[in-house]
Structure 1
Amino acid sequence: MSIGQQREDNMKTLKKMKLGFLLILIFALSSCAKDDYYVDGGLAQAEFDGSILEYLDSKPREFDTIAQIIRLSGLESYFQNEEFTFFAPRDEDIKSLIGSYTNGGLNADLYFLGLDTLKQLSDVDPEIWQKYLLRHMFTGKNVLADYPQVDYSVMNLYGGQNYFSLSGEVCNIGVIFHDAVSSDGTSVLKYMGYRQLSIAYIYDLSSPDDFISVPISSSDIQPHNGVVHVLDYTVGQFGFNQGEVGADIIESKR
C-alpha cells in the first residue's frame, strides 16, 4: 500500500471516529436533558405549545386520570382557557385514594360500610372532584422564582408566603434552599445547594403551624395559559388530604 493510500485510509478512519463520538455526545446530552427534567428537584423549565389541559393530555402515563377528573368536574373549559397556576397531583395519588376493597383505600372503607364501591371515576359526584381540584389551583402565572424562601425548621426567618387557592383555602408556598456539601464532605454550605419549590396545605388558619408539606418534583412547566408544578407523588395526596376527600365521598354515598 502506498503512503498516499495509507494516509487516505487513516483520514477516513479518523472521520468515522469523529462522527461516532459526535453521535454519542448528542445522545448523551439529550438523555441528560430528559432525565434532568424529571429528577432535578424542581428546577426544570419547559414551555409547552398548548393549554394546561393539553399538557396533561400529552403525558398520559402521569396525568391520564387527572385529565379525566378535570373533565368530569366541569372544569375542562377553565383548564383550556383561563390563566392560573396548577400544583398538579399525579395519577398515583388517585390510585392511592381509591385503592381496592381488599387492599385498603377508600373502596375498602366503602365495602366495610356496605356502600357501593367506586368502579369508575364517574361514580364520584362531580362537585367533589371540583372542590379538591380547586384546592390545587391558584390565580396568576407563578414560577419558582416568584416565590420566597421557606425553611420549615425556622419559619420565623424564612416563612414562605400564604396564598389562597381557588377553593378559598390557604396554602403556604415557598422555595427550599438546600444545603451544599463540599466535594470532600468536610463542610456544609448553608442554603447554597439546589432550590426546590414546596407547597404546604394549612388545615386551619387558626393553627398555621398545622400543615402538610409536599415537595415539587418538576416545576415551571409553562403552557399558554399558566404554569404547572408537579407534586412529588410519593409524598403528595389528592386534595393534599385524601382522608378528607374520602370522607366527602363516603358521605355522598350514604
Structure 2
Amino acid sequence: MKSIIGVSFVILLFAFGCSDDYYADGGVLDDNVGELGVSTMEYLQENAAQFDTLVSLIEICGLEDEVNASGNTFLAPRDYSIHNYFELIFADLDEWPATLNDIDADEMAKISVILQNYILPSQEILREDLTTQYSYATTLTGNSARFNLQQDDYLGNVNQGAQHIVFSLDVSGDSQYQSVTVVSSDLKSTNGVVHVLDSDTHIFGFN
C-alpha cells in the first residue's frame, strides 16, 4: 500500500512540474506579464501547474510573509526541480510520504532553509541592472547569491544567441557557487520581483 501511495505522490509531483511551457531566453513572457498586479504568493498560487508543490511547501514552512515582503526578490524553483529533490532524499519508494504534510519535522526544517535561500530580502534584482560581470546579493539565510548575464551561441556564432540571467548560490559558504538559469525574468509583483528558474537541470536546493 505504501508503494502505491508513493507512486501516486511521484506522479502528482511529476504532473505539476512538467505540464507548463516556458521561455528559455530569460526574458519576460510578454509585455503584459511583466506587471503581475498580484503579490508574489498570489502569482505562484495562480500558476499551480508550475508551482503547486512550491506553494504548499512555503505554506507548511510558514514563509508566506517572507515571500511577500516588500521590495524583495524571489527566485522561483518550479515543481519539477522539487520532484528531483525528493527523488534524492526519498531514494526508496517505500520512504515517500503520502502527502507533503507527512514529511517529518527534521526534513521539513531543511526544506525551510532551502526555501529561504531563494528569497532575497529588501533587494530587487532586475535584468536591466545586470551585466556579464558578477553582482552579489544576500539571501534570507545570509548566504551569498550571485547574478550575471550570459549569452548563448547561435548556429555556431559565439555569443549571438539568447541572453539570460544566471543565478548562483554559495551553498556551503566556501565561495563554491552552484548555478541555475533564469527562464522568465523581471516579473514584477505588487511586493517585489519574481524570476522563474529552469527546472530541466536544476535540483531544488542546488543538490
Distance (whole Å) between structure 1 residues aligned to residue 68 and residue 136 of structure 2: 26
Distance (whole Å) between structure 2 residues aligned to residue 168 and residue 110 of structure 1: 34
Matched to 2:128, the amino acid is A
Distance (whole Å) between structure 1 residues aligned to residue 69 and residue 143 of structure 2: 23
Alpha-carbon deviation of 1:172? Answer: 1.7
- List gaps (5 residues or longer) in structure 1: 1-36, 100-104, 150-157, 242-254
Distance (whole Å) between structure 1 residues aligned to residue 49 and residue 40 of structure 2: 16
* Matching residue of 1:26: none
TM-score (norm 2): 0.76
Q: Greater Rg, structure 1 or structure 2?
A: 1
TM-score (norm 1): 0.63
Equivalent position SS for 1:47: coil
| 1:174 paired to 2:145 | no
Going from structure 1 to structure 2, the CA distance change for 1:79 and 1:200 (only over 3 Å counts) comes to closer
- Per-residue CA deviations over 1:135-190 (Å, capped at 9, x if unaligned) read 011132221112231xxxxxxxx4x1232211111122111133455xxx6xx3x5
Equivalent position SS for 2:166: strand
- List gaps (5 residues or longer) in structure 2: 1-20
* Matching residue of 1:154: none
Cα RMSD over matched residues? 2.3
Q: Which runs of 4+ in 1 moved over 3 A?
A: 178-181, 190-193, 203-206
Contact 1:216/1:229, CA 8 A, preserved across alignment? yes
Alpha-carbon deviation of 1:56? Answer: 0.2
* Matching residue of 1:39: 23
Alpha-carbon deviation of 1:192? Answer: 4.7
Matched to 1:212, the amino acid is Q
Distance (whole Å) between structure 1 residues aligned to residue 125 and residue 59 of structure 2: 24
Equivalent position SS for 2:148: strand
Q: Residues 134-173 of structure 1: matches in 2 within 5 Å?
A: 134-139=116-121, 140-149=123-132, 158=133, 160-173=134-147
| 1:89 paired to 2:77 | yes
Contact 1:51/1:79, CA 8 A, preserved across alignment? no
Distance (whole Å) between structure 1 residues aligned to residue 75 and residue 142 of structure 2: 15
More helix by share: 1
